[in-house]
Amino acid sequence: MINIPQKLVFATNNVHKLKEVQAILGNAFQLLSLHDIGFIAEIPEDYETLEENAMQKARYVFSRTGYSCFADDTGLEVEALNGEPGVYSARYAGEDKKSTENIKKLLMKLNGVENRNARFRTVIALTLSGKDYLFEGTVNGKIIDSPNGFDGFGYDPVFIPDGYNQTFAQMPLALKNSISHRGMAISKLVDFLKKQ
């Protein structure tokens, strides 16, 4: 039997993500951000796969703080671009990580391209009592020609999930959470924790 820690660190300071995950987690666990535990060191993300990067982040925090910890890494994988921007989604258009620039670059690359199929893929790595686990969530959809909507973050304004006619940036947060890549990965994480 693994002893479930009541306190779990989510290795992020992204307030949008924290809000999304907190909504899904409910009261089952006490979620702490890096800020909450006073962790200010920059966490490396040196690898070329979502799995390796997520695991590196979770282990990095655990090894320095002793807190059980999970970390996520997400990429937008566009079929016509052979999976680009993928692991480089945040810094697609440069190290200043500007969403508007990333979207601009993406739309330029897809200019005139008929195949608009894309998916978001989230990998969550959990380091719990010294053991490592991976969880994955994906959502398929299409990239539209120009941004639509103001909520959300990242590529939300240009992504319409299959079965809907709104972009992630036009949807209420609760709806996005219920169908999103991150929502699915978090649900798997929560199911796992509850079974321990």
Binding site for ligand IMP (CB under 6 A): 72-74, 76, 89-90, 99, 102, 120, 152-156, 168, 180, 182
Minimal CB distance residue for ligand IMP: 154
To ligand IMP, the closest distance from the beta carbon of 51 in angstroms equals: 12
Nearer to ligand IMP, 135 or 168 (CB): 168
Q: What CA–CA distances, in Å, run from 142 to 106, 161, 162? A: 12, 6, 7
73 is known as an active-site residue: yes
- Of 145, 146, 144, 152, which Cα lies nearest the Cα of 183? 152
Catalytic residue among 73, 145, 151, 156: 73
Nearer to ligand IMP, 37 or 173 (CB): 173
Nearer to ligand IMP, 162 or 195 (CB): 162
To ligand IMP, the closest distance from the beta carbon of 189 in angstroms equals: 14
Q: Which residues are catalytic?
A: 73
